[in-house]
Structures are given as structure tokens and as C-alpha cells.
Amino acid sequence: MRIGFMMAFDKERIEFAKKAGFKSCELRVSSGDAFCPGNSGWENRAKKLKDCYDENGIRISCLAGFYTNHMDAKEAEDQKKHVRNVILLAEKIGVPVVAGFSGRIMGKDLIESLPRYKELWSEHARFAEDRNVKIAFEHCPMGKFHTPCSGNNFMSTPEMWEIAFNEVSSDAIGLEWDPSHLICQFIDPVANLRKFGKRVYHVHAKDAHVNKDIVALYGIWYKGAVEHCFAGLGDTDWGLCIKELHRQGYKNDLNIEGWHDLVYGNKMEDEGLINSFKYLSRFVVQN
């Protein structure tokens, strides 16, 4: 297990990561990236990208590829193509997992997205299986006050995970597990791992904190009631979570998802990353 963070391909960020002691990353991929399949010369560019990370001792443990609404008819075809391209890129450079959202039919109850989910992701699962790549769904609700209400991600609650895994039984499909989204829904991350740990294919090391004084006065439907933060600054017991990940047989890395902390954001982002790295290093011996 290694510790890293989500990044776009940027040699300066790679140098920062190496200097700070990070040994993994989740690489963000967009259709416009020169190394993405479909673009001229992408294979050579992908090889050079992989070589750059290898030379700096950084493992690409996941491709962050498709955080959009795949069930939106206006973008469905483009996003379907992009999912396939991200899987092809993962196969080409030897990355075991690709990640993103499942999509959702907006304005409907979560469960009403199930038929479309089954149709869409059964096909993608077969494509991934043939290339020995796993699909990990980020379970961010994407709605107001960190809830599924008005969000665009069907796979946003453990109930939906359970139903979806039964509908599409492929082992190619699992979770990009992030305890911050569980904390925001008052779910115990350790208990959640005991139930779903075998389907965790990638981990976002991000946390959340429930401001109980605000909740006591205004409830959860109030700005600031729950806030996302760097790992080590929230309510997740990372020691127990990492122990449980090992118990469940997790073989991938912990990649910090930044940009969300209300204090260590923007100009203090790197400080937040380093602080989070030091905290997580208490529980991880990087291999």
C-alpha cells in the first residue's frame, strides 16, 4: 500500500510528490489529453507518461476518468466512448483501476436509475473484464448538503451499491471508497468496510467532520453542518479503516483527494497534502 494524491499529468506536481515522499497517484484523464486514446499519437505519449512516473518512483494506481452524468442523453454517447478510452489507456499503461460516477436519471428516485445502470454498466463491465481492468464507482452523492438529493450519481448510498452489485454481478465493478461521503450521511466507515470491503478497488483518502454544534441548532440542512477536509482532520478513524482494508484483502493505494478543505485549500493545498501524508504514514509502511 502506498500514499499519493489525485493529480493531472504535470511534471512539476510529480517533482513535488517525489520530494514530499508520495509514492502513488490517481491520474486524472480527460478526452482532450494527448495521451488519451482517440488522439493522434496517443500510444507513444501514454508510454512517455508512464515512464515519467516510473522514473520518479510513483505508481499510478487509478485513472480518474469519468466524473459526469452518463445517463444524461445529451452527453451519453460521448461519455460512453470516453469510458472505453479510459479503460483502453489503463490496459496500455498497466493501471488496474479506472474510476468515476455511475450517472443518474435526474428528477427521479435513485432506484429508478437501476434499469439504465444495468444496461449501461453491464456493457462496460464486459469491456473491462476483457482487458483485466476494474471499474471503481466514486460514491459522492453530488447533492445539496452532501446528500443524494438533486445529485447526479446513482451509486451514492450503500443501499444502491447492494442492489447494483446484485443486478450487475461482474467482479469488474466495485467502489472508489471515500469515507468522507459516509461521514456526511452518518454512516460508520469501519462497519461499511466490513460489509463492502471486498468490492473496494480504490480509496480516496478524504475525510469529513460533523460540526455537532451547528447540527444541534440547525440540523444537517444548513451550510457548514458537515464539511469535507483532509484525512486526519475529520471524524474517520483511519487506523481502524486501514486495518480493515488489509483484513478485506485490499491491494491498492490511498490517494488523497484535495481541494475540499475549507482551510487547507487553494494556496495552502500543498501544506494540507503534506500534513495528510504525515498523518496517514502512521498507519502505512509504503512498499
Digit-coded pLDDT (tens) for 224-255: 999 999 999 999 999 999 999 999 999 999 99
Range of the domain at 9: 3-280
Note whether residue 125 is domain-resident. yes
**Total-model pTM:** 0.97
- pLDDT higher than threshold 90 for residue 34: yes
What local confidence, expressed as pLDDT, does residue 204 receive? 98
Q: What is the DSSP string of 182-230?
A: HHTTT--HHHHHHHHGGGEEEEEEEEEEE-HHHHHHH-SSSTTSEEEEE
SS3 63: strand
Region 7-15 average pLDDT: 98
pLDDT tens digits along 200-231? 999 999 999 999 999 999 999 999 999 999 99
Q: What is the DSSP string of 127-174?
A: HHHTTT-EEEEE----SGGGSSTT-S-SS-SHHHHHHHHHHS--TTEE
Q: Quick one: residue 146, left, alpha or beta (phi over 0 = left, psi -120 to 50 = alpha)?
A: left
Q: What angle do CA 152, 60, 266 make, to 5 degrees?
A: 60
Question: How many domains are contained in the chain?
Answer: 1
What local confidence, expressed as pLDDT, does residue 22 receive? 98
- Give the CATH number for residue 203: 3.20.20.150
Note whether residue 286 is domain-resident. no
What local confidence, expressed as pLDDT, does residue 66 receive? 93
Note whether residue 287 is domain-resident. no
Q: Which helix (H) or strand (E) holds 254?
A: strand 254-256
pLDDT band (50, 70, 90) for residue 266: confident
pLDDT tens digits along 117-171? 999 999 999 999 999 999 999 999 999 989 999 899 999 999 999 999 999 999 9
Residue 10 carries which side chain, given as an amino acid letter? D
Note whether residue 177 is domain-resident. yes
Enter the C-alpha cell of residue 35: 495521451
Note whether residue 285 is domain-resident. no
